[in-house]
């Protein structure tokens, strides 16, 4: 039975790239000094385009599968589109998928991305504060997954750092938005501060914020 969730979802950019490639090859081959009629030129172009399509197809399929994996855990609307760093992070941590906290982490990030997209369009102090809280909550939730492994390994520590670094890219952008809208800030709003995990050689079970 056909599983539509596993069908490739081609973006407009991907389709446009293939059309441009097709036309480019058609023009180049036609201008070469080849004594073939148009129909043979067209056939050559089709073959070359088909080879290109299959080469790029695998990458597109992998991206679609990663997005579909994240969607399985989303409650409500999905805001992960085009946020590939978070998508790759989730897929690199599949070993925790049996944990309830793993699904919670995915939805915390999803809510963060919701507020992030809204802040880009319209600045609100409360949503800025929400983003900082969600960032800390996401790191705490990831740390809570430690009980699923017998000991803290390099993958766990590396991924915790990666998650922090991904968030800080977004928080840096929010800092710029906050500066641009400083006239809307009130005395109750807190200025941007990068939230850091305590620097330790090892992270323990209770090293939460």
- pTM of the prediction? 0.63
* Domain co-membership, 36 together with 124: no
What's the rounded Cα separation, in Å, for the pair 115 and 124? 10
What average pLDDT does this structure show over 13-41?
68
* Domain co-membership, 179 together with 123: yes
Q: For 54-78, give one letter per residue: b (16+ CB within 10 A) or e.
A: eeeeeeeeebbebbeebeebeeeee
183 contacts 200 by C-beta, under 8 angstroms? no
134 belongs to a structural domain: yes
* Domain co-membership, 93 together with 177: yes
What average pLDDT does this structure show over 29-55?
67
Residue 194 pLDDT greater than 50, yes or no: no
**What band does 116 get if pLDDT is binned at 50, 70 and 90?**
very high
Q: State which residues form the domain around 155.
A: 84-184
Q: Measured in Å, how far apart are the chain's first and last C-alpha atoms? A: 48
Q: Could you give the percent of the chain with pLDDT greater than 70? A: 67
137 belongs to a structural domain: yes
209 belongs to a structural domain: no
* Domain co-membership, 110 together with 42: no
30 belongs to a structural domain: yes
């Amino acid at each position: 039975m056909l599983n539509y969730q596993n069908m490739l979802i081609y973006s407009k950019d991907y389709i446009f790239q293939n059309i441009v490639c097709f036309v480019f090859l058609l023009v180049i081959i036609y201008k070469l000094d080849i004594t073939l009629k148009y129909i043979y030129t067209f056939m050559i172009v089709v073959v070359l385009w088909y080879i290109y399509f299959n080469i790029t197809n695998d990458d597109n399929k992998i991206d679609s599968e990663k997005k579909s994996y994240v969607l399985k855990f989303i409650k409500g609307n999905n805001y992960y589109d085009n946020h590939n760093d978070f998508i790759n992070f989730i897929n690199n941590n599949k070993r925790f998928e049996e944990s309830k906290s793993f699904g919670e982490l995915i939805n915390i990030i999803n809510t963060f991305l919701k507020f992030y997209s809204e802040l880009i369009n319209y600045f609100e102090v409360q949503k800025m504060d929400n983003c900082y809280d969600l960032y800390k909550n996401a790191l705490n939730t990831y740390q809570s997954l430690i009980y699923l492994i017998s000991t803290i390994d390099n993958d766990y520590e590396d991924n915790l750092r990666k998650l922090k670094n991904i968030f800080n890219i977004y928080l840096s952008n929010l800092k710029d938005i906050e500066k641009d809208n400083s006239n809307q800030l009130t005395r109750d709003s807190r200025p941007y501060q990068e939230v850091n995990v305590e620097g330790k050689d090892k992270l323990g079970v209770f090293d939460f914020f």
